């Protein structure tokens, strides 16, 4: 039952691996560009773009647009809401992992 409860506490938005990885990478207070995220996550343009849009629309990401040497550049950073929800998701995952280590009779 405890494990069922932990599963329910997982954030549905972060149960997608690309969205989860984006939030983890941005959680160190860095601003990362689309091209960097694409390379690091080994994702396609379409998939990454769709996942970033979803995270932005739910208020997890802040998009920063500016010009660098007359070239448009877009970077992403984590919002306080994104950071807080990521922490909750990580805590729930940790509980699942901890409970997974136990023998069935412990539960």
Question: Applying CB under 8 A, which residues contact other proteins?
Answer: 3-4, 7, 15, 17, 20-21, 24-25, 28-33, 35-36, 39-42, 64, 68-69, 71, 73, 75, 93, 96-97, 100-101
**DSSP character at residue 79:** -
Q: Residue 19's closest CA among 59, 51, 43, 41? A: 51
- The distance of closest approach from Cβ of residue 49 to other proteins in the complex, given in angstroms and rounded to an integer, is 17
Roughly what angle, to the nearest 10 degrees, separates helices 34-41 and 45-57? 120
Q: Taking the complex as a whole, how short is the minimal distance between the CB of residue 20 and other proteins, in angstroms?
A: 6
Token readout for 31 is 């601003």
Q: How far is the CB of 73 from other proteins (least distance, A)?
A: 6
37 neighbors 22 (Cβ within 8 angstroms): yes
């Amino acid at each position: 039952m405890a494990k069922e409860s932990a599963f329910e506490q997982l954030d549905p938005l972060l149960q997608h691996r690309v969205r989860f990885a984006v939030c983890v990478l941005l959680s160190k207070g860095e601003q990362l560009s689309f091209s960097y995220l694409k390379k690091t996550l080994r994702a396609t343009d379409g998939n990454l773009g769709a996942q970033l849009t979803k995270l932005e629309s739910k208020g997890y990401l802040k998009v920063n647009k500016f010009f660098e040497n007359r070239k448009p550049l877009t970077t992403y950073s984590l919002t306080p809401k994104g950071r807080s929800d990521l922490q909750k998701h990580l805590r729930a995952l940790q509980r699942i992992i901890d409970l997974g280590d136990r023998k069935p009779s412990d539960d």
